[in-house]
Every structure is written in C-alpha cells, then in structure tokens.
Amino acid sequence: MINTIIKQTNMLYKSCCRLFLLFAAVAFTLNTNAQKNASTEAKINALIKKMTLEEKVNMIHASSFFTSGGVSRLGIPKLVLSDGPHAVRSDTGTYLPVGTCLAATWNPKLGYEFGSVLGSEANFHGKDVILGPGINIIRSPLNGRNFEYESEDPYLVSRMVVGYINGVQDQGISACVKHFAVNNMETNRFNVNVNLTERALREIYLPGFKAAVTEANVNTLMGSYNKVRGQWASQNSYLLNQILKKEWGFKGFVMSDWGAVHNTIEAIWNGCDLEMGTDLNQRPHRDYSKFFMGDTVVNLVRSGRIDESVINEKVRRILYVMFKTNMIDGVRKKGESNTKAHQQTALKVAEEGIVLLKNDNKILPLSSSVKTIAVIGFNAERKQAMGGGSSQAKAFYEVTPIEGLRNAGGNKINITYNQGYKIERGATADDLLIMQAAEAASKADVAIVVGGWTHGFNYSVWSDNAYDAEGYDKPDMHMPFGQDELIKAVLKANPKTVVVLMGGGPIDMTQWINNVPAILQAWYPGMEGGNALAKIIFGQVNPSGKLPMTFPKILEDAPSQKLGITSKDLMQLYYTDDIYVGYRYFDTYKVEPQFAFGHGLSYTTFEYSNLKIQAGKKNTTITFTLKNTGSVPGAEVAQVYVKQEKSTLPRPEKELKAFEKIFLQPGDSKLVKIVLDENAFHYYNDIENKWVMENGVYDIMIGASSRKIKLNGKVKL
C-alpha cells in the first residue's frame, strides 16, 4: 500500500513538474514574442521618423510593373512582387496545377505543400510577395477565371487557403490573397457594380478572406477591380477599413489590383496602402509618381488636407511585413527552384485533384488486354502553362496528356494521335479531322478524347482562343471547336471511349454523356499533369479527387443565370441568387445537377457506419466508421453537412461544415472523429446584423457528395 502511494506521489510530482515546465515554456515564448514585437515596433517608428514625406509617399505606389518604392539611404528595399498563384511567373520553374485542381484534392496538407513550393521558388528568384492565392467564389460557370479560384463553397475555400498561405509564408515569403471582394466575373470587371445583401457577403463571399486573415495571418491582400455597392473595391471603406482592418484585425497591407485605384482621396482614406499598376500612357518612360497615390498625396499633406499620420500608417503596415519576412532585419532563405521534390508536389496535387466523373462498367482503369489506344483531341498535345493571363507560367517542362500516356504505356501499347479539332475562336466541326479521328478510333481497343476548354492568354494574339482566361468570360457552356460532333463520331466508331476534359469548370455534356462510359475532369493539371492522368487511366493511381463545384447540366440551370440579374449595359450586377450559390441552390430548389458538389468516383468502394453524435457545451463531437470494402488502396473524402430544421430566416437545404480525406488499404477501417464548434451552426441574420446560433434541432449528414448522403443523424442544441 505504501509503495503504491509513493509511486502515485512520484507520478503526480512528475506530472506537476511537466505542467510547470510547459507553463514556463509558454510564458517564455509569450514574453520573447512580446519583446520581439516591441523591438520591431520601435525599429519601425525610428525609420518612419527618419523618412521624408516624399520617401514615405514613394513607398505607397509602384516603382515599376512589379515593384514598389524603397528608401535606399535607410536600408529599406523595394518590394518585389510576382504573379502568380500557380508558379513564380517571371522566371522558369515549377508549374503547379491550377486552383480548382488543388481544391479538388480536398486535402489541406497538399495546400500547405503547394504553398511551400511557391514560397521556396519565390525565394530562389528574389521575390518578396507571391500574388496568390485567388479565392473568389465560383458563382457562375462562365467566369473565365474560375480555373484560378478554388470552389463555390466558402468552407472548402477557407480550409484550403489557410494551408496555401501558411506554406508560402513559412518560407519567409508574403502571400497575397485576392481579389477582395466579390470579383466573380471578368467581362466588364473594370466597371461593374456588384449589389448584394449583407448576408450573402458574410456567409458566401467573405469567409475565405476572413480565414486568410484571422487563421493564416496573411501578410498582404489585393483589392479587386469592380465596385461593391457603388464604391470601388480597392478604395472601399466598408470592406477595407471596417471589416478587414477593424473587425478582422488585419495587420498587413492592402494593395490595389493593377490600375484599380480611381481617386486619391478615397484611396488614402478608405484603406488602400499600396497602389499598383503601370502607367501605359507614359511608355516607354513611365512616371509612377503621377499615380493617384504619388505626388498628389505630397501636395495634399503639404496643404493640410491630409494628415501625415495617415501616410505613416500605410508605411507602417508595409514595414511590418518587411520586418516579418526579414527583408530589412534578418536572413532570408535561399530557396530552391524546380527540384525533384517540387515536381513531385506538382504530380501529387494532380493525382489527387483529377476527378473521375463517370465510370460505367468499370472501363477504367484500362486492363492489360488493351494493346491499342487512339488518342484524339488538340488538348492531348497542347501545353497550357502559358495561358490564363496573370496566372501564366514559364514551365521548366510540361508533360502533356499524350506524352504521359506514352510514358506509362511504354512499348507494350500502340498509341496513335489525331488532332480532331482546331483551336480557333468560332471554329466549327472539321469534317476531315473528325473522319480521321473516327477511323483511328475504330481500329483501336480504346479511344481517349482529350478536349474541353483551352487555357487562353489575354495579353497577346492568343486572346482569340481564350475561354479560361483573365479578362474574358465564356459566352456559354457549349463545347467549342465542334467537339460535340467529334465525340459523337468517335463514340459511334468505338463505344469504348474515355473523355478527358481540361478546363476550370463545367461544360455542357448533354449531347453525348449518356453514351460515353467514362469521363475524367483533369482541370489544368500542371507540369506533371500528363503523367498523373496516365497513372489514373492505367490504374497506377486510384483517383480521389472530388468536385469543388457543382456541374449543371445546362447553363440555364445555374443559379447565377436562373436567379441573378445583370443590367443590359453590364454596369450593374445584382446577386439575387443571394446565399443560394452552387449546391445550396441545386439542393434547396431540387434542381438535378450533371455532377454534384463533392462528387468523385474511385476504383474501390467505401462503407460508412456507426454514426454517433454527442452535443457538448461548446462543441458537437461526431464519430463514424469508414471502411475500404474494395480490393485496392484508396482515399475517400467524408463530407459533413448541417441543416437547421427550423430557423428564423430561410437557410439552404444543407451546408458543408467539415470534411476529412482518409486513406485506407483494402479491408481497413478507421474511426473518424470530427468536432464541430458553434460556427458550424450559426448564420448571419441581416435583420439584426449579426451572426446567430439558434436553439433547436439540426440534421447532421455524412456523405461522399452533397447528393450522396450515407449517414444521417440529429443533434439538439
């Protein structure tokens, strides 16, 4: 008995010691951080006191297309910025898959690895800020920049953006989250005024930005081109001063999109800290001091119309970021470019992001009996890295789908290629190319048509071919270049046809979807995309991607088209679809999609069971069992949706509130535990102008997509 007491006393003593050491370590860390912050603040104050007004103003506008001014006599360097969200644009390096492909992985850990590659390569090339990620909500299937953004769902965006930003900034590089806010169309983006309710703004369009600021502590943010409720977004007091800086406590600096500032007084007072752009009227000798936030600011301060303290605050924010990233006081990481590890990250994101949409009769993966493959379609050999506008990349190399298939097939499979269609704006079906493609398909064991959208480029003659590109929206959802006729002809020649779709979003498949056995959504999968695609087709990789957006059957089914209103002159855009964006609309209004949000097939099967829900004082704990019941390893994205049964204001049929990607070997199972805090149950009451969580019963739905619910439960709060 005495020995037991002594033993327990010793254990208690050791526990107390460990607890004391833990508290001591935390206190030491907090004290060290406080001292560091105080020291940095003192250094910033000292620098600002030494600067002339002209030097301060020189720091708040561009000094070249991708730099802002520094103060060399005080050791303050220029900021060097670089597009884009998928690669360091200005130099040759790793070309990562686009934002929709990253989001389709539903894997925040890959988001971190993705950001780490960008941060490392930015360091290597001497950049300070990566102009990404782009996280505007995918509201309309026509937006030409959807490929760059991530999802229609604010929760999925929030989880992916935090990983991306942390990955970039842990390398000592600043991320720049963009475009703030409600920049959901490209056509007329320089003029359009977006009108929306406060509830839609808070529930749909701002959560990703809030997570970027309050969770990832993003260093910089870019304002968008459009107006929001009548005021330009890059000089919008409500967005920048009230929400971003006051409510969310944003400490970094706000830069405008290039040329997005329109008025000096509004920009200075309403929260813009750095005006970027290029003065095209002054070529080849641009005078950046003539920007809105240039010499005019000096004159306004000298005349007493603006207090110098307002300018000091902007400079302070820029210096804060410089010190945080060791630009002034510290050692920068050297970084690496296009390493094997970076290439493997590009490959991994593509492997996990490509989505198997359809697989009738298990035609995929291709069996060993397949000896001849007819590959058809311009996108099979077209390199996509240089498309898209500011997201273009100078890829060190790019494996196209045809190259990937030949790499994987080796000498065992005879692979032929036919172009099938021409990439020209307005091009119709080419009878000769279609005839040649159909003939090749008829002689092959399997045909693979690689088509879809093209990754256009809006700053050159390629703009005639731009469908997924900055500055352009698609005219409709119909397949361009006569591809419908091509696919139908190939299917007639060979029913064993696989369709691979490139692009940033949905396309109208109604003319052939009922006849094609297999469809893969490949997005724009980066420099290793061809290899990733081939590995999935041949079964070396089990697909695990899930759609980060709903694919409507036809354009008219999309809520932006069904409920949204745009003025005839395109000057006024009314988000009358409100909070019913994407699956929130399709599921609430009972509209059948072509493919649901969260949809994605696998070469194995999964079983969900044993749902248990426990409501606590602050959190609700959900547990369930997931089992791989198939014969191959695979990953499933278990999605948690919540529905409030009775609410004061209308709410959607269901809303994504949690997810987890689980990798399992055949026959293995895992007890999955998910904890929901009160944020999973609240909504924005725009009558009371606050977030509310109401008492009552909530449905908890666990599923493989928004339309494939496997487990149902309830919790009373």
Encode 214-247 in three state secondary structure: HCCCCCEEEECCCEECCEEHHHCHHHHHHHHHHH
- Identify whether the C-beta of residue 25 lies closer than 8 Å to the C-beta of residue 17: no
Strands (E), 37-108: 62-64, 67-68, 79-82
Could you tell me which residues come within 8 angstroms of residue 709 by beta carbon, excluding any fewer than 6 positions away? 641, 701, 702, 703
Residue 532 CA to residue 349 CA, distance in Å, equals 9
Could you tell me which residues come within 8 angstroms of residue 685 by beta carbon, excluding any fewer than 6 positions away? 199, 648, 649, 691, 692
- Identify whether the C-beta of residue 306 lies closer than 8 Å to the C-beta of residue 297: yes
Residue 642 CA to residue 140 CA, distance in Å, equals 24
Residues in the chain: 717
DSSP state, residue 459:
T
Residue 451 CA to residue 379 CA, distance in Å, equals 5
Residue 372 CA to residue 465 CA, distance in Å, equals 32
**Looking at the DSSP assignment, which residues form a beta bridge with residue 231?**
228
Single-letter code of the amino acid located at 154: P
Q: Are strands 683-685 and 669-676 parallel, antiparallel or unpaired?
A: unpaired
Phi and psi at 552, nearest 5°, equal -75, 155
Q: How far apart are the first and last CA of the chain?
A: 47
Give catalytic residue positions.
257
Residue 494 CA to residue 120 CA, distance in Å, equals 47
- Identify whether the C-beta of residue 603 lies closer than 8 Å to the C-beta of residue 364: yes
| Neighbour tally for 442: CB within 10 Å | 13
3-state secondary structure of 210: helix
What are the Cα distances from residue 469, in Å, to 43, 384, 390? Answer: 43, 11, 9
Residue 390 CA to residue 459 CA, distance in Å, equals 9
3-state secondary structure of 423: coil
DSSP state, residue 644:
E
What are the Cα distances from residue 559, in Å, to 92, 491, 554, 556? Answer: 40, 32, 11, 8
